[in-house]
Amino acid sequence: MNSPISLQLFNKISFAPSSHRAVYLQLSDVILSSIKKGKLRSGQKLPGSREVAALLKINRITVARAYEELQSQGWLESFVGSGTFVSSHIIDHEPENLGGGLVPASLKKAGFVMPSQNYLDSASDHPIMELHLDDGYPDARLAPLKEFYRAYRTQLTRSGLYDKFGSYGNPAGPGYYREAIASHLNETRGLKAKADNILSVRGTLMGINLVCSALINPGDVIVSGIPGWKRAEHNFIHARARHIGIKIDEHGIIVDELREICRKQTVRMVYVTPHHHYPTTVSLRIDRRLELLRLANEYGFIIFEDDYDYDFHYKHSPLLPLASADENGMVIYCGSFGKSFSPAFRMGYLVAAENVIQHLARVRILLDRQGDHILDNAMAELLNDNTVRRYLRKSLAVYEERRDLFCGLLSAELKDKVSFAIPEGGMTVWTEFDPSINLEELAKKAFRKGLYISDGKAHQYPDYKTNGVRLGFASSSKEELIKSVEILKGLEY
């Protein structure tokens, strides 16, 4: 005889006609939830399919399919002539111990212990606001999205589909993309790279993480400038390396301090952003560049050159990358289209000696078999037909106008509150506020007015304090920049 309790449970079931989930699956979901919550117990008999169908006004076959679905998963068991029962192999739980609500507790919190790593807590994204003086992002409204769409579509319709879709490719990236990147870098940055010197990555962070995984051992010393890019530093920590920070002045990292460190201990890698130091935007002076290369040759450390915004320089032709003057294979050069097109474009590259690329590709395959070859080849099309060159020329002129307008507004409207140097390139202004101004409170006030700015926490260190933030101008139109500065001017300080 069927339990009146289980029949009562079925009486409360309702279905969502608008749901994309079949009715029999909705019914099986409810039965399964009742079992997990202890409302249906191990060995308890369920009402017959005919009885449930009449009660719920659905087809008997629908009920039978729901029962069969749960039988196949092991939650129910059926015996000819006896009926359908909750599996006797299920251990009963008290309902009050399983929690309620629509979302199971298991989807909110794991039952196992995870290591506590404070450096991962800073990974939250800033809110999307109509007005924003961000970290220095490009304006996606200027990006050649239509051209990219056409190039991507072409990759899906051309011949040779087996090569693209039917098998795995080179983990270093497709040859077409690597050749296009090598040619582009040779022409624009003075490199002498070939396809075998290129590895495709999904942005700069992946490049840093891959190098740390493949070339850094626990306890290795990594040196970088302070203040610096916390995301890179967190990769060093995650690799269990020992991170040492050296000072930054108006000419970049102080290489003399690096020399003293090298004399006392073995340095495995030096991370630099020489074109425009992050976050201060200063350029590494030529004599320091040459000395950094000399020290790398003398002491055998890797130089990881993060050239995140080389394409945007306004005053004069930019200094060529360290990699262009590297004669001994000491530099790993990294670039990304995220800073040229949009942060949503997770496309970049590492450039290094052939044996380094081969080694990194072998390690990369453990995490990401090969990346997105279709996406890479679409970008290669834009490089080869000069779309990228035309876009960069156009956006460079636009960003220079925005820089000049923004710096003029800061000088005119906030001259008593901020100090800054007009950047020679890049997409942001390193801005130091008066020490009496609380940047965290200022950011909150601006947010309430519809403007996003950083609260400056990302640039604070135990032994380094600054009241500075990066105010990005490139992703905002002239009108948006004017409104943003008006908001900053109108805040209570």
What CATH number is given to the structural domain containing 48? 1.10.10.10
End-to-end CA distance of the chain: 76
The residue out of 389, 408, 432 marking a domain boundary is 389
Residue 370 included in any domain: yes
User: Quick one: 407 and 379 in the same domain?
Assistant: no
Q: Check if the beta carbon of residue 221 is closer than 8 Å to that of residue 266.
A: yes
What is the spatial distance between Cα 483 and Cα 386, in angstroms, rounded to a whole number?
A: 35
Q: What's the total number of domains in the chain? A: 3
- Amino acid (1-letter code) at residue 202: R
**What's this model's pTM, rounded to 2 decimal places?**
0.79
Residue 109 included in any domain: no
User: Quick one: 359 and 443 in the same domain?
Assistant: no
Residue 285 included in any domain: yes
User: Quick one: 299 and 419 in the same domain?
Assistant: no
Residue 122 included in any domain: no
User: Quick one: 255 and 324 in the same domain?
Assistant: yes
Residue 123 included in any domain: no
User: Quick one: 300 and 430 in the same domain?
Assistant: no
Residue 189 included in any domain: yes
The residue out of 360, 389, 418 marking a domain boundary is 389
pLDDT digits (tens, 9 = 90+) for 445-471: 999 999 999 999 989 898 888 899 999
- pLDDT given for residue 292 in this prediction: 97
User: Quick one: 219 and 240 in the same domain?
Assistant: yes
- pLDDT given for residue 92 in this prediction: 66
**Which residues are registered as beta bridge partners of 221?**
242
The residue out of 364, 389, 414 marking a domain boundary is 389
Going from the C-alpha of 469 to that of each of 181, 271, 411, 473, the distances in angstroms are 33, 21, 16, 13
Residue 126 included in any domain: no
- pLDDT given for residue 385 in this prediction: 92
User: For the domain that residue 429 is a member of, what is the CATH number?
Assistant: 3.90.1150.10
Residue 36 included in any domain: yes
> For each of the chain's 493 residues, which pLDDT tens digit applies?
455 656 677 777 778 877 778 889 988 888 888 888 888 888 889 888 888 888 888 899 999 999 999 999 889 998 888 889 999 887 765 554 444 445 667 777 888 888 877 777 665 566 677 899 999 999 989 989 899 889 888 888 766 655 555 456 788 888 899 999 999 999 999 999 999 999 999 989 999 999 999 999 999 999 999 999 999 999 999 999 999 999 999 999 999 999 999 999 999 999 999 999 999 999 999 999 999 999 999 999 999 999 988 888 887 777 899 999 999 999 999 999 888 888 878 889 999 999 999 999 999 999 887 778 888 888 999 999 999 999 999 999 999 999 999 999 999 999 889 999 999 989 999 999 999 999 999 999 999 999 999 999 989 898 888 899 999 999 999 999 999 999 999 987 7
User: Quick one: 234 and 152 in the same domain?
Assistant: yes
Gyration radius (Cα) of the chain, Å: 30
User: Quick one: 214 and 303 in the same domain?
Assistant: yes
User: Quick one: 180 and 310 in the same domain?
Assistant: yes
- pLDDT given for residue 429 in this prediction: 96
Instruction: Tell me which residue range forms the domain holding 46.
Output: 4-103
What is the spatial distance between Cα 203 and Cα 224, in angstroms, rounded to a whole number?
A: 20
User: For the domain that residue 375 is a member of, what is the CATH number?
Assistant: 3.40.640.10
pLDDT digits (tens, 9 = 90+) for 142-167: 989 899 889 888 888 766 655 555 45
User: Quick one: 182 and 255 in the same domain?
Assistant: yes
User: Quick one: 331 and 403 in the same domain?
Assistant: no
User: Quick one: 221 and 305 in the same domain?
Assistant: yes
Block residue for tokens 């490009």: 138
